Each structure stands twice: as structure tokens, then as C-alpha cells.
A and B are shown apart, each in its own frame.
Chain A
């Protein structure tokens, strides 16, 4: 578990270092995710890498247990609402309505686009 966590943190660290160093406009952990994916794909080609946390689902198990509690990690930021109570009193209802409408439109437009492109593709490439 500790070895698996180390691999994850290492990917994040390298991601942050590259993002800061090169000045990329992307978040460090997102680059870290790409690096971990690359690492796993590389492992599949080079048996020499198959050791420690990269062996027998080490990093996989740690990742799954982290992702199993993803929603917990948003609680501290959300509790920050206590600092904004005056703003909630003044604009809370409007903000809630705006965010709800925006979420519904975003969900519907995204899902429709996904399905439409998918349908176009399957029509232009008829199955064998």
C-alpha cells in the first residue's frame, strides 16, 4: 500500500515539477495521471519493470481504494461555505438557480453531442 502510494505521489510530483518548470497551463495532478498511465503501458512491454508496486496490482489496489472515497475529499473545500454566509444570504438563491440550470444544460448538451457523434461514426463505418 505504501509502495503503491509512493508511485502515485511520485507521478504527481513529477507532474507538478514539469508543469511549474515548463509553465504548462495544465494542473500537475492531471499530467501525473498521464504519467501513471504511460508507466503502466510501458510496464506491459518491458517485463523488467514488473516489480514492487508495479507488480501484482500494487498501485492498482491503492488507486482503487483512493477512488472509492473520492467524494470525501471534497468535503473540506465545501465546508468553506461557512466563510461565505453573508454572500449566501445575499445571492445564494440566484447562485443555486444559475448553477442548477447550467448543470442541466451542460449534461444534456454533452450527452447529446456524444451520442450524435457516435451515431454519425457508426453510420459512416457500417459493420463488417
Chain B
């Protein structure tokens, strides 16, 4: 009997079905808890899904490659979801057109600050060059950041992790920070979190306010563009 259940586990643990199911169900639970806490920043569903799934993989001695074979179906949706950002953009086009100049200026400034601060801080902490390069595109969405990382000959998988970590940090910090700073313009709040914390920040912004979500989505899309140009320039100028 126990031999049977062991061979069943061996079979299932290698199949994409199990890991897709694990990803979706743990996220569903984490999201339900987040909803129950009225979307408390610390109940961030991405954060809690990641450590629970990660712990599960370590306990069952499952490789990330095996896990990803199932989870890739979810990962793939990042692309279509980026395209789908056209919808809130379309719905709010008048509002967006009215704020074009503030958006463009804060896009350039914010994008530069996001890269420069991480590179300078990492250098000050004496981190190895390969890690600094991998951290530099951390404020843009995962797929884009991994592409930039690859072109710098850095470590794309470390970049992916730092991107997600940055997104979670931004999503947790933004609401208390903006409330403390008494900023009530949800266009500005949303735009800032989209620059600093890409899609995870955008998901958070949509939870707080629809307009904030729209501006965050635009910021994330535009930042992907600008960061692709700026990171190579910044690392050549800042890193010796």
C-alpha cells in the first residue's frame, strides 16, 4: 500500500497537473485571506503564495524545473495580461490625455531613479558586479527585466526573483507611504507604484482605486520601454 502511494506520488510529482493545481489553489487561499483582511498590505497574496509553494518544493525535494513545467501556463499569461492593459487605458483615455505631460516627466525621472538608486546602493554594500547587474532592471515587469538581464550577461533567474520581490515590497509599502505623505491624487499614486513596482504594484493599485490602477498600468508599460534604454546606459556610467 505505502509502496503504491509512493509510486503514485512519484508519478504525480513529475506531472504538470500537480504543480499547476498547487499554484492555483495556494494562490486562491492566499487571495481569499487577503480579501478577508480587507486587502491589508501585509496579506499580499503573491508574497504568501511564494513562500508556501517554495517551502512545499523544498520539503518534497522537487526541483524548480519540475515545478515550472506546471506553473508555466500561469507564467505565460503575463504577456496577454500586458496586452490587456489596453482596455483600462482605452476606458480612461480622456483622463490620461489630460495628464500627458506630468506622466512623461515623472516617467523619465522615476525610471532613472529606480535604476540609479539600486545600482549605487548595491555598490555601496559591496555586492558582486554580477548581482548588481541582475538587480538593475528590478522595477520593470518580469519578462522585460529578464530580457534586459540576458543582454547584460547577468543572471535572468536572479533578476526574476528581484523583480517579484521589488513588486511585493512596492505593493506593501505604497498605501501606508502615500497616506502618510497625505497624497490624495490617485493618478499620481498609481503612476508612482507602476514605475516602482510594475505589475504587482498595478494589481495592488487596482485593489485600492480604479484610476490608480489605470495610471499604474500605463506607468508599467511605459517604464518597460524607458528602462530597456536606460539600464545599459546607467550600468556603463555607474559601474566601473
Contacts and interface: CB of A to CB of B under 8 A. Distances in A.
Interface of A: 5, 8-9, 11-12, 15, 25-30, 32-37, 40-41, 59-60, 62-64, 66-84, 87, 91, 94-111, 113-115, 117-118, 121
Contact of B46 (A29, A71, A91, A111): A71
Nearest to A118: B102
Interface of B: 23-24, 27, 31, 44-46, 49-50, 53-54, 57-58, 64, 67-68, 71-72, 74-75, 77-90, 93, 99, 101-103, 105-106, 109-110, 113-114, 117-118, 121-122, 125, 127, 131, 135, 138-139, 141-144, 147, 157-158, 160-171, 173-174, 177-178, 181, 183, 185, 187-189, 191-193, 195-197, 199-200, 202-204, 206, 217, 219, 221, 224-225, 228-229
B89 A81 contact: no
A34 B110 CA distance: 22
A39 B35 CA distance: 35
Given A74-B199, A110-B196, A99 B135 contact: yes
Nearest to B167: A74
Given A103-B169, A106-B195, A107-B193, A66 B80 contact: yes
Contact of A71 (B163, B165, B178, B200): B200
B181 A111 contact: yes
Contact of A81 (B24, B31, B50, B196): B50
A5 B196 CA distance: 29
Contacts of B195: 106, 110
Contacts of B164: 74, 77-78, 80-81
Contacts of A74: 46, 78, 142, 164, 167, 199-200
Contacts, number: 293
Nearest to B58: A82
Given A76-B71, A94-B125, 8 more contacts: A33-B221, A74-B142, A77-B161, A79-B71, A108-B181, A110-B191, A111-B188, A111-B191
A75 B87 contact: no
A103 B192 contact: no
28 contacts: A5-B80, A25-B228, A27-B141, A30-B144, A30-B225, A32-B79, A33-B82, A33-B83, A67-B88, A71-B204, A72-B27, A72-B45, A73-B75, A75-B50, A77-B160, A78-B164, A79-B54, A79-B64, A87-B131, A87-B158, A95-B122, A97-B125, A100-B173, A103-B170, A106-B192, A107-B170, A108-B177, A108-B192
B109 A99 contact: no
B114 to A, nearest CB: 4
A120 to B, nearest CB: 9
Nearest to B77: A73
B203 A99 contact: no
Given A12-B80, A76-B75, A118-B185, A100 B50 contact: no
